[in-house]
Structure 1
Amino acid sequence: MFKQFYIYLVLFATLMMTIGGAVSIFMTAADIISPTTYMEVNVAKNQLIKSFGFIVIPFPIFLYFNRLRKKLE
């Protein structure tokens, strides 16, 4: 019971992080395409790299726990 709850909690958290990273990438891409100042472009590039981290890091964890969930069922 507790193990299933933990798996679903990790799945939810990693999925939310991945979705948040994807939304942030689109918002940052819009800032790069239509910047107001040169300084904003540098900030947007930095934010883009951080956003990719919110996809690259939690997504493999999500896949692993999803496979684990399927094994337990």
Structure 2
Amino acid sequence: MDVEKDLELDTLPDVDEIEDTGFIFEVESKSFNTSKNCADIYLQDWEFLNEEVKKDALERMEKSGWIYRDPIIYPLSKL
């Protein structure tokens, strides 16, 4: 599942992990997108242990600003 989150940063951090909403995501790659004036950070794929963990995680991510495609049509907490 490809999820994204908009952040305002002065610089692109040189990190291999991103911590957010109590989770640690491993960074697969980073690139500057000059046409959109932003940076794209791709996270390594992850799996949920079970449906209860998935529901909790997606609700926390949604509250923190993560989105999947169109958040109106595809709210993370309902996937």
The verdict on a shared fold, with TM-score over 0.5 as the criterion, is no
Higher RCO (C-alpha 8 Å, min separation 6): 1
Q: TM-score, with normalisation over the residues of structure 2?
A: 0.26
Q: TM-score, with normalisation over the residues of structure 1?
A: 0.28
Larger Rg: 1
Name the structure where helix makes up a greater proportion of residues: 1
